[in-house]
Amino acid sequence: MSALRFPENFVWGAATAAYQIEGAAHDDGRGPSIWDTFSRTPGKVHQGHTGDVACDHYHRYAEDVALMAELGLRAYRFSVAWPRIQPDGSGPVNPRGLDFYDRLTDALLARGIDPIVTLYHWDLPQTLSDRGGWTNRETAEHFADYALAVHARLGDRIRTWTTLNEPWCSAYLGYGNGVHAPGEQDPGAAFSAVHHLLLGHGLAARALRSAGAETVGITVNPADVRPADPASAADAAAVRLVDGLHNRIFLDPLTGAGYPDDVLEHVSRLVAPTFVRDGDEKTIAAPLDLLGVNFYAPTYVAGRTDGAGGGGAYPGTEGAVEFLPPAGPLTDMGWMIEPAALTRLLERIATDYPGVPLMITENGAAFPDKAGTEHPDGPGQVVDADRIAYLDGHLRAAHEAIARGVDLRGYLVWSLLDNFEWAEGYRKRFGIVHVDYLTQRRTPKSSARWYQEVISRNGL
């Protein structure tokens, strides 16, 4: 295949999240989060794994930043753990928690790596969850205070601020099907969480902007929703419904159009949306300098009338929508591999929500890598040709979107390190760097070396 070059100044980097890599769960005054509680609840996380130690990044960040520099990363997206900054979720700020991100930021800048902050990657302080979590409007207000506290310490050095990571997951997996913390299964709570997450974003975005933040954005995980049968009207209706619940319910209000009527009507059949107050949609529509897009796999759906299918990850689709089992080559998560879906998705967002620069803030794949003595390629070698193929395909798809006119500013691979993959614990490995959890030894996989080359050539 011919050489592909990305635009000048295209941002190349990697992403992680606090609870998935930091460990140090009790260090320096950190309070408990919903993931500490959830991972200790029997049956919720694979083999009872927790983030207590994870990749011990809290203590090994200097080594990890050196590795990023070796790989040539230009940007690093990390999340700040709210319970380190405000152990109870509100009230006094814990300076020792901020000290860690201060050190990390300086280490990145010293190596010429641009820090991209995510303020909320799912680790809600437990105290706030005890008071209803994202179903409580006050959580949105506390979130804006917390955002300001982080900005007050790091705002002189960090340019790019994103509020939430994937509010779809926080709301529907946290409160809809209960696969993620806090593990509730209540459609009304899920929609109330959607709204309060968006409100929290709007309040925090406004606060960050008035405090002088240069680039303010949010990361979503929009879905490329496709019909099982392109000729079927029932399948088209299922696509419309799932697209509404996954994409338009977030992107329309974020970009100023308010909640779509069809979505509000669907929600109203499950819960009276009294949590949406006058003025909220205006707050949510705070100007966006950047929209982060996380993408892994497409979603295929079919319309049903026989009561089968659907589920709490899309409240109210029970009996009406079938989510097709993934087909073709799959990753270790059982997710489909279809790079063309990324091109379609980016083009669709650029068309329907014009004027907002995009960045792929996560893309990557889990495969069952082995390293060290276990590995057939010999000690110190992790050959992950399957991951390279996945990344190569998706970078080509991203390039195609750019060629078709999409304003795509960068690509951040998920993830720098193997890490705690939420309900899957440590059994799913997404890193371009292998982590041996017994020794904490880091081994760059062949995908890391490949990515290093891609970055140095600014292309494929």
* Residue 221: CB minimum distance to ligand FCB, A: 6
> Is 362 annotated in the active site?
yes
Token pair recorded at residue 199: 């409100």
Strand ranges of the sheet holding 321-323, from the earlier edge strand across to the other edge: 225-227, 299-303, 321-323
- DSSP designation for 413: E
By C-beta, is 179 or 271 nearer to ligand FCB? 179
Where are the alpha helices (H) located in 111-161, listed in sequence order?
A: 126-130, 137-154
By C-beta, is 184 or 421 nearer to ligand FCB? 421
* Residue 250: CB minimum distance to ligand FCB, A: 14
Report CA torsion sign: 113, 449, 362, 50. negative
Contacting residues toward ligand FCB, per CB under 6 A: 17, 20, 165-166, 169, 221, 294, 362, 414, 421-422, 430
By C-beta, is 101 or 430 nearer to ligand FCB? 430
Report CA torsion sign: 351, 353, 356, 362. negative
Token pair recorded at residue 13: 């980097």
By C-beta, is 259 or 296 nearer to ligand FCB? 296
By C-beta, is 73 or 302 nearer to ligand FCB? 73
Exposure on the CB side of residue 197, measured as CA atoms within 13 A: 29
List 166, 184, 281, 400, catalytic entry: 166
* Residue 421: CB minimum distance to ligand FCB, A: 5
Distance CA 346, CA 339 (A): 11
Coil, strand or helix at 183: coil
Which backbone phi and psi does 401 adopt, to 5 degrees?
-60, -40
Distance CA 10, CA 406 (A): 13
Distance CA 163, CA 112 (A): 23
> Is 322 annotated in the active site?
no
* Residue 307: CB minimum distance to ligand FCB, A: 29
List 22, 184, 322, 362, catalytic entry: 362
Token pair recorded at residue 62: 């200097």
* Residue 135: CB minimum distance to ligand FCB, A: 21
CB 221 within 8 A of CB 172: no
Catalytic residue annotation: 166, 362
